Amino acid sequence: MNKKTPIKLVLSSLLIINSIIHFPAYAKSSINPLEKNMITSYKQNVVDLLKSIENGDTKPVSYINPKKYIQHNLGVEDGLAGFGALLKQLPKNSAKVDTHRVLQDGEYVITHTDYNFFGPKVGFDIFRFEKGIITEHWDNLQEKPVSPNGSGHTMIDGSVKVTDLNKTEGNKTLVRSFLEDILINGKMEKLAGYFDGDHYIQHNPNISDGLSGLGAALKAMAQQGITMKYNKIHKVFGEGNFVLGVSEGEFAGKPTSFYDLFRIENGKIAEHWDTIETIPPKKEWKNNNGKF
């Protein structure tokens, strides 16, 4: 069999699926019956798509719009073709994908994944659905350290259960306020109000648990002349007790993308995961969509 045949078949099926989704006979409302069914499976579609990087399953590729796939990973070309070109670069049987957390905020699905993808990494991925199919993607990847942090936590372990769905909006407001007050405006006098004393589980590989661990890490960074600055919040997503903040700033003098995932418990920040990724110079970008 010609090695190119499966790709052609997949692309053909994508065009068929896309035409079905948009066919007027199904459009009895702004969201047609087919789309309503697909909304309930957004999370599973994304998990399956990510897992296909490891197992080579071609079906999940049909969840991506072949005519409109806006890519914000600056190392990947735009469109479905860019996604395919990236996968072709992977050494055979080298990829491993283990998604630990999946959140949904409206048309957006957010995942927290342990990767072996051109080397061990931990990443957050954000997928936006439009009319039942994926049309846009953002991510933030960080190399996975060999050892856990000073409190024995990895970048990916910890709580996974989504609860308190009725508190989603309040928790998103809390996280946005924390990012603005503490990380952007440096109002450190408000810091303790966001936490339940020193009870705070930390998954950053260089910071230990509690406010005491955070303080010690910031002090050590200052002594080494390493600066960290948040300048702008681009997005805040949430589902129940989990909230992800997507921010832009600088780390060690370089333009940086910060993804911070918080677990909220009883109105306080109880647990934190993050990834920090340097934003490359524009001359190195493979698409013009920007990181955010």
Q: Is residue 192 part of a domain?
A: yes
Residues 56 and 90 in one domain: yes
Specify the DSSP class assigned to residue 118: S
Residues 63 and 171 in one domain: no
Residue whose token pair is 């990829």: 95
Q: Is residue 159 part of a domain?
A: no
Q: Are 271 and 210 in contact (CB under 8 A)?
A: no
Q: Are 261 and 274 in contact (CB under 8 A)?
A: yes
CATH number at residue 212: 3.10.450.50
Residues 16 and 132 in one domain: yes
What are the φ/ψ torsions at residue 151 (nearest 5 degrees)?
-100, 5
Nearest to 277 by CA among 185, 170, 140, 112: 140
pLDDT score, position 222:
85
Residues 33 and 127 in one domain: yes
Chain centroid to Cα 277, Å, comes to 12
Residues 72 and 108 in one domain: yes
What is the total residue count of the chain?
A: 292
Tell me the whole-structure pTM to 2 decimals: 0.86
Q: By residue range, what is the domain housing residue 25?
A: 5-144
Q: Is residue 136 part of a domain?
A: yes
Q: Is residue 158 part of a domain?
A: no
Residues 121 and 200 in one domain: no
Q: Is residue 152 part of a domain?
A: no
d(CA 90, CA 96): 11
Specify the DSSP class assigned to residue 77: -
Q: Is residue 56 part of a domain?
A: yes
Q: Where are the alpha helices (DSSP H) in 136-206?
A: 168-178
- CB crowding 233-257: b at 16 or more within 10 Å, else e: bebbbbbbbbbbbbbbbbbeeeebb
Residues 118 and 237 in one domain: no
Q: Is residue 155 part of a domain?
A: no
Q: Are 115 and 156 in contact (CB under 8 A)?
A: no
Residues 107 and 17 in one domain: yes
- CB crowding 27-58: b at 16 or more within 10 Å, else e: eeeeebeebeebeeebbebbbbbbbbbbeeee
Total number of domains in the chain = 2
Average confidence (pLDDT) per 10 residues, the chain, 292 residues: 40 35 32 47 97 95 96 97 92 95 98 96 98 97 97 98 98 98 93 94 96 88 91 98 98 97 98 98 97 98
Residues 262 and 178 in one domain: yes
pLDDT score, position 214:
87
Residues 128 and 192 in one domain: no
Residue whose token pair is 């990510």: 50
Strand partners, 247: 233, 258
Query: 29 Cβ partners below 8 Å, 6+ apart?
Result: none
Strand partners, 229: 250
Q: Is residue 157 part of a domain?
A: no
Residues 13 and 136 in one domain: yes
